[in-house]
Amino acid sequence: MASLKKPVRVLILGTGNMARNHAAAFQKMAGVEIVAGVDRRPDMLAEFCAAYDVPEKFEDLQEAIAWGEFDAVSNVTPDAAHHPTTLQLLAAGKHVLCEKPLATNAADAREMTALAKEKGVIGMVNLSYRDVAVLQKAARLVGEGSIGALRHFEASYLQSWLTQPAWGDWRTESQWLWRLSTEHGSKGVLGDVGIHILDFTAFAAQSPVSELSCRLKTFDKAEGNRIGDYPLDANDSFTLQAELENGALGTISATRFASGHHNDLRLRLYGDKGGLEVSFENRIERLRICHGGDLTEARWQEIDAGPVPTVYERFIDAIRGDARPDPDFAHGALLQAALDTAERSDAANGAFLKVDAVSE
C-alpha cells in the first residue's frame, strides 16, 4: 500500500481578488490545507479568512514567518512587493508560488531565483495561461517536430476595457485606474499582459526570446492625461519584433484598445514542415495544424487537447517531488529580462537589442 503523504500547509499572502482564485484552487485539492492569511488590511483579511475558513490571520508577514506553521505560500501581493516578500519567505525555507511578474526588474528576479536555488525550495510563477490545454499540446507538437524547424510566428493579446465597460468603468474605478499610472506601480500593458503573451509564444515555440525591438504607445485618454490622483502615463499598446534562440522571427503585440475582444490570445507558428494556430478567445480553446499531405491544399485539421493540471496542482506536485516546477523562477526572470529589454528598446527608438540570458 502506498504511504500517505503529509498535507501541504499553504499560507496566502495578500487577500485581494486574485487571492480568491488561489484559495478556491487549493481547497479543491486533496492533501492541501490553507492554514493562514496575511494582509495589512484587517477588514479584507478578516473577510477573506471567513470566506475560505482560514484559521490563522496575520497583518504582518514577519509575525507569520515567526509562527512558521506552513510549508508553502501563494504570494498574491502587488507587483512591487513580490521581490521583498518572497526573499523573506525563501530565507525562511518556504516554497513560493508567486503571481506574475516575478519582480519589476530582471535583477530582482535573478536574486529571487538564486535564493530559491540556494535554499533548495520550489519557486514557481503563476503564468495562468499555461493552464490552456491547447497551448500545452502545441508545445508538445513543436517539441516532437510536427511542424519541423520553426521559422516564423505571430502572437497577440487583445483586450478592450478602454473602449467598453464590461469589466467596469476604468474612469472611476481604482482597480483599473492604477493600471494606467506608472506612479501607482503600473508598467502598462507591457508589464500587465505582455508577460503572458511572451510566455505563450516562448513556451509553445520551445525557445526563449534572444533579441527584440519594441515600440510602446500611450494614448490621450482624459483632459491633461490625469484622473484625480492618477496620471495616465502607462503604455496602452505595444508591438514587438523578436528573434527566438532557435532562429525563428516574428511579432508579438498587445493592446487595451482591441474593440470587440474582451480578453483573447492568438498565436500562429510556422515551421518548414507545417503550421500551428492556437487561440484562446471568449474562453474557448482551439488548436489547428496543417502539415504533411495537407500542405499542398492548405487544409487545416482541428486537434483535441485533453485536460491539463493547473499551476496550483503543478506547484503542489513539485513540492512533493512528483513534477518539475514549471514555470519556475528562472523562467520568470528570463521573461522579466525580455520586458526590461523591451522598455530599453523603446527608449532607444525601437533599437534591436539582445536579451540577457538567465542561468537555469
Question: Over pLDDT 70: what percentage of the chain?
Answer: 98
Reported as a pLDDT band with limits 50, 70 and 90, residue 175 is confident
Answer whether 264's CB lies under 8 Å from 169's CB: no
User: In this structure, how many other beta carbons lie within 10 angstroms of the beta carbon of residue 168?
Assistant: 11
| DSSP-derived secondary structure letter, 70 | -
Q: What is the rounded distance in angstroms from the CA atom of residue 268 to the CA atom of residue 253?
A: 13
Reported as a pLDDT band with limits 50, 70 and 90, residue 4 is low
Q: What are the Cα distances from residue 346, in Å, to 11, 236, 340?
A: 39, 14, 10
pLDDT of residue 252: 98
**pTM of the shown model:** 0.92
Residue among 242, 182, 234 nearest 214 (CA):
242
Find all residues with CB under 8 Å of 301, minimum gap 6, and list them: 288, 289, 290, 294
Tens digits of residue pLDDT in 237-261: 999 999 999 999 999 999 999 999 9
Domains and CATH numbers, the chain: 8-128 (3.40.50.720), 132-308+328-354 (3.30.360.10)
CA 68 to chain centre: 28
User: In this structure, how many other beta carbons lie within 10 angstroms of the beta carbon of residue 185?
Assistant: 15
Mean pLDDT taken over the chain: 95
Task: Supply the DSSP string of 248-286, one letter for each residue.
Answer: -EEEEEEES--TT-SEEEEEEEEETTEEEEEEEETTEEE
Tens digits of residue pLDDT in 291-348: 999 999 999 999 999 899 999 999 999 999 999 999 999 999 999 999 999 999 999 9
Find all residues with CB under 8 Å of 348, minimum gap 6, and list them: none
pLDDT of residue 358: 54
